[in-house]
């Protein structure tokens, strides 16, 4: 009976954690690679393979254009392989290209003008951001959003806000000169502050006054998302129903709200990276595939709708990560193209090969580090 119980537990774990993660990641990777594929086809580049996953092939089909559509055994990414590529990183195979006819060389990625190559590479991250825009806009259209008035209904005793002089009933008008229209906006401003001092303009009993506070970085339990270090001010919204609005939107407004959501995620990511190099943040906030799988499983247990929201957030993260100027990633290729445009000539091939190896080492280190940290979280129940 113990063996049967263990088997049942294994399949339950697969169903709640592995499958949601694979579906989530595969969808995001598919749209990323589809961006590369569609723009490459529009530019006249021949695509030899479109792969979801790496490693041994599980299923494949060759279409009438000669593109091999494949599903591989390791669902941790994907790639589009162009004519003349040496591998999955879009590095050109000089020997293979040398054997091609002049017409076929023009159908390789390297045979495209600089602007076309940049457009093809940028199309992957752009597709991720577009996917997130559609997901967020769709959720706003179906559910709208809740907006609390920027009125303080709670001040935690001994918190940063308490020490700074905030009081229940204070109305937040601006933070660092930016107008505040809802408590949710206040919360976002605090989050991206990463512990830096903020200047608040408030109304107290109708009279304006200014306060200063540096939100404190604390370990906060976010339920399914686990424990995260977050900037914490120590205030809460009012519970007066008159201060709560349920907002709905037409399609154009919902798209604007979705774009603002993407902008916030991008700004929060940039703030974290900047704070990391400034020494105010810790690398232990980085997560890998194991942690994402855990989060996806926990959210799938709560609501499939919330899983869509996670897909949007994850899609933005994948798009932004791929824009990092690291050789091997799309941002690394765009960096090479920018240098090529400035130099007005192709870059030294040997230098590009060395940079690519460095990029592979950096990405491999990040994968090993985040996976090790994810395992440590799971083993120590730190999530």
Q: Which residues pair with 66 in a beta bridge?
A: none
Residue 52 lies in a domain: no
Residues 138 and 206 in one domain: no
In a domain, residue 330? The reply is yes
Look at the block and give the residue holding tokens 């049967």.
Answer: 4
Report pLDDT for 4: 44
User: Of all helices (H) and strands (E), which one includes residue 48?
Assistant: strand 47-62
Decide: residue 47, CB within 10 A, 0-12 exposed, 13-18 middle, 19+ buried. Answer: buried
Tokens of 83: 């004519």
Strands (E), 189-272: 198-204, 207-213, 216-221, 227-232, 235-237, 244-247
CA distance 135 to 126: 14
- Distance of alpha carbon 177 from alpha carbon 200, whole angstroms: 8
For 72, 122, 240, 333, the CA distances from 311, given in Å and listed in that order, are 22, 20, 33, 26
State the pTM of this model: 0.85
Span 264-300, pLDDT tens digits: 989 888 887 777 777 776 666 677 777 777 777 777 6
Where residue 158 sits, what CATH number does that domain have?
2.30.42.10
Identify the domain containing residue 357 by its residue range. Answer: 112-144+251-383
Number of domains in the chain: 2
| Phi, psi (rounded to 5 degrees) for 172 | -80, 120
Calculate helix-pair angle for 304-322, 114-143, nearest 10 degrees: 160
- On whether both 127 and 154 belong to a single domain, the answer is no
Residues of the chain with confidence (pLDDT) below 70:
1-17, 87-91, 93, 220-227, 281-285, 300, 378, 380-383
Residue 75 located in a structural domain: no
Q: Are residues 128 and 277 in the same domain?
A: yes
Angle among Cα 161, 163, 167 to the nearest 5 degrees reads 55
The span from the first CA to the last CA of the chain, in angstroms, equals 31
pLDDT at residue 362, as a whole number: 87
- Choose one of 210, 225, 247: the last residue of a domain: 247
Q: Which one from 6, 33, 143, 291 is the annotated catalytic residue? A: 33
Q: Please check whether residues 139 and 151 belong to one and the same domain.
A: no
Residue 53, φ and ψ in degrees, nearest 5: 95, 170
239, 307: one domain: no
- Give the tokens for residue 300: 């799938």
Residues 268 and 377 in one domain: yes
DSSP 8-class letter at 294: H
In a domain, 170, yes or no: yes
103 found inside a domain: no
Q: Is 102 a catalytic residue?
A: no
Same domain (yes/no): 239, 368: no
Residue 285 forms part of a structural domain: yes
So what's the pLDDT on residue 10?
Answer: 42
Residue 134 belongs to some domain of the structure: yes
Claim to verify: residue 323 and residue 358 sit in the same structural domain: yes
- In-domain check, residue 228: yes
pLDDT digits (tens, 9 = 90+) for 59-112: 999 999 999 999 998 888 899 999 988 766 666 767 777 788 888 888 898 889
Please say which residue of 247, 265, 297 terminates a domain. 247
Residue 267 and residue 183 share a domain: no
Q: Are residues 232 and 256 in the same domain?
A: no
**Residues 296, 161: one domain?**
no
Residues 149 and 283 in one domain: no
């Amino acid at each position: 009976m113990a063996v049967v119980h263990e088997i049942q537990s294994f399949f339950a774990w697969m169903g709640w954690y592995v499958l949601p993660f694979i579906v989530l990641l595969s969808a995001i990777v598919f749209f990323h690679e589809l961006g590369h594929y569609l723009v490459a086809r529009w530019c006249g580049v021949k695509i030899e393979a479109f792969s979801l996953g790496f490693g041994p092939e599980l299923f494949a089909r060759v279409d009438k254009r000669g593109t091999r559509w494949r599903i591989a055994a390791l669902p941790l990414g994907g790639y589009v392989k162009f004519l003349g590529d040496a591998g999955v990183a879009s590095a050109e195979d000089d020997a293979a290209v040398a054997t091609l006819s002049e017409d076929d060389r023009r159908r390789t990625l390297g045979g495209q003008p600089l602007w076309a190559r940049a457009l093809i590479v940028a199309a992957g991250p752009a597709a991720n951001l577009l996917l997130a825009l559609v997901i967020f806009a769709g959720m706003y259209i179906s559910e709208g959003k809740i907006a609390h008035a920027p009125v303080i209904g709670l001040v935690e005793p001994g918190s940063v806000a308490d020490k700074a002089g905030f009081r229940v009933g204070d109305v937040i008008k601006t933070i660092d000169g930016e107008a505040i229209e809802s408590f949710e906006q206040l919360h976002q401003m605090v989050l991206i502050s990463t512990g830096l001092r903020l200047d608040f303009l408030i109304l107290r009993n109708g009279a304006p006054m200014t306060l200063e506070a540096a939100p404190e970085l604390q370990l906060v339990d976010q339920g399914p998302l686990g424990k995260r270090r977050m900037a914490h001010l120590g205030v809460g919204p009012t519970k007066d129903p008159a201060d709560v609005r349920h907002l709905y939107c037409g399609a154009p407004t919902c798209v604007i709200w979705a774009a603002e959501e993407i902008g916030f995620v991008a700004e929060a990511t940039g703030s974290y990276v900047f704070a990391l190099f400034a020494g105010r943040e810790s690398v232990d906030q980085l997560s890998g595939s194991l942690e994402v799988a855990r989060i996806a499983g926990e959210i799938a247990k709560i609501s499939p709708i919330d899983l869509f929201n996670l897909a949007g957030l994850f899609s933005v993260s994948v798009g932004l990560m791929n824009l990092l100027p690291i050789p091997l990633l799309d941002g690394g290729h765009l960096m090479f193209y920018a240098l090529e445009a400035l130099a007005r000539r192709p870059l030294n091939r040997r230098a590009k090969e060395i940079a690519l190896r460095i990029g592979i080492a950096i990405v491999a280190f990040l994968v090993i580090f985040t996976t090790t940290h994810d395992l440590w979280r799971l083993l120590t129940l730190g999530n």
